[in-house]
Chains A and B, each alone.
Chain A
Amino acid sequence: MSALLPATPMLGATTVDTAVFLIGAVIILAGAFGVVLSRNPVHAALNLVATLFGVAVLFVEQGANFLAAVQVIVYAGAIVVLFLFVIMFLGVDRLENLADEPLPAQRPMAVVLAVLALGGLMALGVEAHWAVGAHSVAGPVQGASGGDVGALGKAVFTTYLFPFEITAALLLIAVVGAVVLARRPTGQSSPPPDGDQAAADDGPAGTLAAEEAAAAAAVEELPSEEVVR
């Protein structure tokens, strides 16, 4: 087996590491171009899932195992499902004519700006050597007790405790905001769906589930309103 997979010093990396990186990069870029070029929003969402999985693979390759799991669970499991909910319930999953562009200068300008952004980022990476700056007070990843999960948990619950609590408030605000935006305006005949209240009562502990419930409640309102009209 060692003859099949020799540890060739290919830019200092082993063959397996290089292969994982290249496959992950291909998945990521194919998914990203799929999102940009898909005519159907549902296909764009599925291509987004491919990109998110590729990023999770590269997280694992860099030793961020917990973040890879969270990436798959939260992004692919909750956020993309939310996208698909909204796409399908709004009924916008019809094909879009990509050749139709009312602003003639939009696409050349967009390409120029994207190439400029890419060139600027690459130049910064080459010139600035950002990865030699001072370390934070959060501690190392490698060598920490409990691996990356232990190091990340210790950092989040000690050094970054206050931002962590703020995110709880942020999620609660987002849930309340989604419910307020999705509410039917007062004065209409039919009562609001009871899903709103259930989502509003949920605390930060079940926020992701509450967010999904809020979005589901938001999109479920649409068909009944068509009946009212």
Chain B
Amino acid sequence: MSVPGAWFLALGAVLFAVGALGLLVRRNVLVMFMCIELMLNAANLTLVTFARMLNDVGGQALVFFVLVVAAAEVVVGLGLVVAIFRRRRDATADDLHILKG
């Protein structure tokens, strides 16, 4: 008998909350991206837990697709960071108010 799924779900919720806290608190764009990765991993942990609890491979397949989307998101996001950094020598979210109308 393995650890109950509720423990994994609680851990996933805590990990998601920590990631959300970091996303709201930090101002370095790269660290904010890492916090988004934390939240995606919390969702993945929850999906794998549900896949085990329901004995259904659909949850694991969804984790597979989340991994792909996370990879694409990181590539485009870091490309944006590089493009912004080329114009302004800083990667702080507060300095990006130049988009303001």
Contacts and interface: CB of A to CB of B under 8 A. Distances in A.
Interface of A: 9, 11-14, 17-18, 21, 25, 28-29, 32-33, 35-36, 38, 41, 44-45, 48, 51-52, 55, 58-59, 61-64, 66-67, 70-71, 74-75, 78-79, 82-83, 86-87, 90, 92, 96, 102, 106-107, 109-111, 113-115, 117-118, 121-122, 125, 130-131, 133, 135-142, 144, 148, 151-152, 154-156, 159-160, 163-164, 167, 170-171, 173-175, 177-178, 181-182, 207-208, 211, 214-215, 218-219, 221-222, 225
18 contacts: A29-B11, A48-B37, A58-B8, A64-B63, A75-B41, A82-B78, A87-B30, A90-B82, A92-B85, A113-B24, A122-B13, A131-B50, A141-B57, A156-B61, A156-B64, A177-B76, A218-B79, A221-B86
A152 B17 CA distance: 29
B69 A79 contact: no
Given A51-B41, A83-B30, A225-B86, A130 B8 contact: no
Among B11, B14, B45, B74, the one with the most A-chain Cβ atoms within 10 Å of its Cβ is: B74
A125 B74 CA distance: 29
Nearest to A25: B11
Contacts of B65: 160, 163-164, 167
B57 A139 contact: yes
Contacts of B51: 62, 64, 141
B98 interface: no
A64 B35 contact: no
B18 A155 contact: no
Given A17-B3, A175-B75, A181-B82, A35 B41 contact: no
Contact of A141 (B1, B16, B56, B81): B56
Contacts of A11: 3-4
B6 A125 contact: yes
Interface string B1-33: 111111111110111111111101111101101
Among A41, A79, A148, the one with the most B-chain Cβ atoms within 10 Å of its Cβ is: A79
B76 A78 contact: no
A78 B71 contact: yes
B96 interface: no
A207 B37 CA distance: 19
B91 A90 contact: yes
B64 A152 contact: yes
B24 A110 contact: yes
A23 to B, nearest CB: 12
A139 B57 CA distance: 6
B2 A13 contact: yes
A103 B28 CA distance: 15
Contacts of A36: 18, 21-22, 25-26, 31, 35
Contacts of A71: 44, 67
A181 B80 contact: yes
B72 interface: yes
3 tightest Cβ-Cβ pairs between the two chains A and B: A136-B58, A110-B24, A36-B22
